[in-house]
Amino acid sequence: MPSGRSSAATSFHWSSAFDLQGPRDHGAPSLAPVTMSPMAVFSPRIASALLTLIVSALGGWIFLLLDFPAPWLSGGTLAVGILTLASRGANPPDPVVNLAMLLLGASMGVGVTPDAVGQAMTWPGSLLGLFLSVFAIVGLSALFLWKVAGWDRNTALYASIPGAMPVVMMMAADSNANVPRVAIAQVLRVFILVAIMPSLVSNIGGGAPVTAPLRTGTLLEFLILAVLCPIGAYLAYRLRVPAGVLMGSFIVSAVLHVTEVAVAPLPPLVVVLSFIVLGAVVGRRFSNVRLRELPAILVPAFGAFLVATASALAAALAVSHLLSLPLEQVFLAYVPGALETMILMAFALGIDPVYVGIHQMARFVGLALLLPLVMKSRRKL
């Protein structure tokens, strides 16, 4: 890192806030082989990671008892977030996270049917609506943080850009923006989304949770998935696809299911365990947030979240009406969240993960490609 950057910028390890299983540096989870000595199993770090997973499971179980939607994801995230703010816990080991993403990607393919693929004819108009909604979300959120909360313009702008967090954080560090404030605002948005979005979407009219079809699949079908999904995950990772492990496994599983080559849903227990890991990982995004910094940022960041969510809902209402698409499906595709988290939330809520995934991916890639050009032109003005 160049020496000219401020100490505030260096106090954050950005990789903890980035999208899971995509291209990264800074020591985030990867597919690289991991060597571990036998004594490492008993290390304090492993014990802390185990505590984090247990807390995630307990949070999910409590939300399940309270009949919350997507309980293992939202409950686990909230519980681990509280644990992390108390300076306890640790990130789950990289191989565990990779395995969970691989299994969730394979599980999501169950929701891909020929009928769902046939509905893709309506997506160009929906993608156009997404493009317009991003301008509304960024513009109105930044205006709120700038005019109402009193943040400087650069900090307000970078804190309001949804998705593409690696690019946003790098660019914020190269500007005069308050990098810690941007990082906390971005992480808070993802945390709040995972904590409350399942209930909100269900109240709007979300589908029933995904359940396994009546057929269980043959041994051959499971073997096909077990061989091809890891290959797809590896190729997507090597090609630097965002959330590569998840998306690569999902794409392979989707193709196998829609062609009926392998229609084999994973056991529900495997899916639940994978969501427990995901809840732990999302909750740990607060690992670089200082508790004393939260009060001054929490209220403005939550206000900006409400503005962004209202903007996404307004756009979703219009597109849902014009294209006769389910409102909860369009809303979850438009809401500004982390790529892999929103796709998995769609799967957990019984909403078409292909539709949500295509839209979230389009926003991620579009922002990653356009932001550097837009900001470069802005600095010249």
- Is the confidence at residue 76, as pLDDT, over 60? yes
Separation of alpha carbons 353 and 344, rounded Å: 7
Which residue type, as a one-letter code, is found at position 121? Answer: M
pLDDT band at 166 (very low <50, low <70, confident <90, very high): low
Separation of alpha carbons 336 and 193, rounded Å: 8
Assess contact for 275 and 97: CB atoms under 8 A.
Answer: no
CB burial of residue 359 (10 Å; 0-12, 13-18, 19+): buried
Q: What are phi and psi of 207, to 5 degrees?
A: -75, 175
Separation of alpha carbons 8 and 15, rounded Å: 16
pTM value > 0.85: no
% of the chain beyond a pLDDT of 90: 21
Q: What is the DSSP letter of 19?
A: P
3-state secondary structure of 212: coil
- Is the confidence at residue 140, as pLDDT, over 50? yes
Give me the torsion for CA of 221, 222, 228, 233, rounded to 10°: 140
Q: Which residues contact 51 (CB under 8 A, 6 or more apart)?
A: 83, 88, 89, 90
Q: What is the pLDDT of residues 46-75, one digit of tens each?
A: 888 899 999 999 999 998 898 776 788 878
Q: Is the dihedral of CA 208, 71, 346, 95 positive or negative?
A: negative
The pLDDT of residue 22: 44
Separation of alpha carbons 371 and 360, rounded Å: 16
Residue position matching structure tokens 């922002």? 367
Which residue type, as a one-letter code, is found at position 345? Answer: M
Q: What is the pLDDT of residues 266-308, one digit of tens each?
A: 888 988 999 899 888 878 877 766 777 777 788 898 899 899 9
Residue-averaged pLDDT of the chain: 77
3-state secondary structure of 190: helix
Q: What are phi and psi of 12, to 5 degrees?
A: -115, 135
Instruction: Record the tokens describing residue 321, joined without a space.
Output: 């009406």
Q: Which residues contact 106 (CB under 8 A, 6 or more apart)?
A: 225, 229, 249, 250, 252, 253, 266
Query: Taking Cα atoms as reference points, which of 283, 234, 208 lies closest to residue 105?
Result: 234
Assess contact for 164 and 369: CB atoms under 8 A.
Answer: no
Assess contact for 76 and 278: CB atoms under 8 A.
Answer: yes
- Is the confidence at residue 373, as pLDDT, over 60? yes
The pLDDT of residue 318: 94
The pLDDT of residue 61: 95
Higher pLDDT, 22 or 317: 317
The pLDDT of residue 11: 39
pLDDT band at 314 (very low <50, low <70, confident <90, very high): very high
Separation of alpha carbons 339 and 314, rounded Å: 21
